[in-house]
Amino acid sequence: MNYSKMSVSDGARIELHDLLGLTGAEISLNILSAGTGVPFIHSHRQNEEIYAILDGKGQAVIDGETVTLKSGDWLRISPIAKRQFFAAADSDIKYLCIQVKENSLCGYTMTDAIV
């Protein structure tokens, strides 16, 4: 079979790597309750992260700088940047995180498609 499909229900964090058999990216669906945050600061060796804010609002602290986030925002963070995410005091935040190796994109929709 040349595809994989699954359905997810809400959970604090759902990693799709194993569930979909991903080979080039890690994707996770994350929900932080109002007033909470990711309990650690982290960076990566090779992987950049792309965040899509799906619902709610909050902040990311990136290398000590606070970035305000709201539904509809997209954010790319380089591997070496230290980051931590927080929900706003009065709002949950739901976001998608896509993790891929930095500088690995060799083609994209218009240059990689075979028509």
pLDDT per residue over 1-60, tens digit each?
888 888 887 677 888 888 888 888 999 999 999 999 999 999 999 999 999 999 999 999
* Whether pLDDT at 65 is above 80: yes
The single residue listed with the structure tokens 């229900």 is 9
Instruction: Check residue 97 and give its pLDDT.
Output: 96
**Integer Cα distance of 22 and 5 in angstroms:** 11
Q: CB atoms < 10 A from the CB of 75, how many?
A: 17
Instruction: Check residue 10 and give its pLDDT.
Output: 67
Q: What is the pTM of this model?
A: 0.88
pLDDT per residue over 83-92, tens digit each?
999 999 999 9
**Integer Cα distance of 45 and 22 in angstroms:** 19
